[in-house]
């Protein structure tokens, strides 16, 4: 009976919706030590946004080695988690925003997503891609 209960919980968890955004920036090949410069820039940008949106810094892990932040958010009277992560991505840097368990963006996550996207487009121009 316990195995059936665990399997049911697994299935329910696997079906939970999430909202997510991935923004990727590549280094400027004309810049000496471009990878190091990009990593430092990405770290500064992530830190500024984490402070502005009151995200708590968490210890880095394998999934988020260059910056990991968390806060709560809500929509439609439901509370859920807002995760913001900075990761290396094949010579580039990727900013990831995920809100789970929800089918709609909460106000904090939506504002973070929109402002971060606009900032990265302005700052990195052609080196920006939305994944």
Q: How would CATH label the architecture of 17-130? A: 2-Layer Sandwich (3.30)
Ramachandran region, residue 85 (left: φ > 0; alpha: ψ -120 to 50; beta: rest)? beta
pLDDT tens, N- to C-terminus, the chain (131 residues):
444 443 433 444 556 689 999 999 998 888 877 788 889 999 999 999 999 999 999 999 999 999 999 999 999 999 999 999 999 998 899 999 999 989 899 999 999 999 999 999 999 999 999 98
* pLDDT at site 28: 85
| CB-based contacts of 29, cutoff 8 Å, min separation 6 | none
Please state the pTM of the whole predicted model.
0.84
């Amino acid at each position: 009976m316990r195995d059936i209960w665990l399997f049911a919980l697994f299935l329910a968890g696997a079906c939970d919706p999430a909202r997510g955004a991935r923004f990727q920036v590549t280094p400027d090949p004309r810049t000496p030590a471009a990878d190091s410069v990009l990593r430092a820039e990405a770290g500064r940008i992530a830190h500024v946004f984490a402070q502005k949106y009151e995200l708590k810094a968490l210890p880095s892990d394998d999934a988020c080695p260059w910056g990991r932040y968390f806060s709560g958010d809500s929509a439609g009277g439901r509370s859920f988690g807002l995760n913001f992560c900075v990761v290396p991505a094949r010579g580039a840097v990727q900013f990831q925003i995920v809100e789970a368990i929800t089918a709609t963006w909460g106000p904090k996550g939506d504002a973070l997503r929109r402002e971060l996207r606009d900032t990265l487009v302005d700052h990195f121009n052609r080196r920006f891609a939305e994944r």
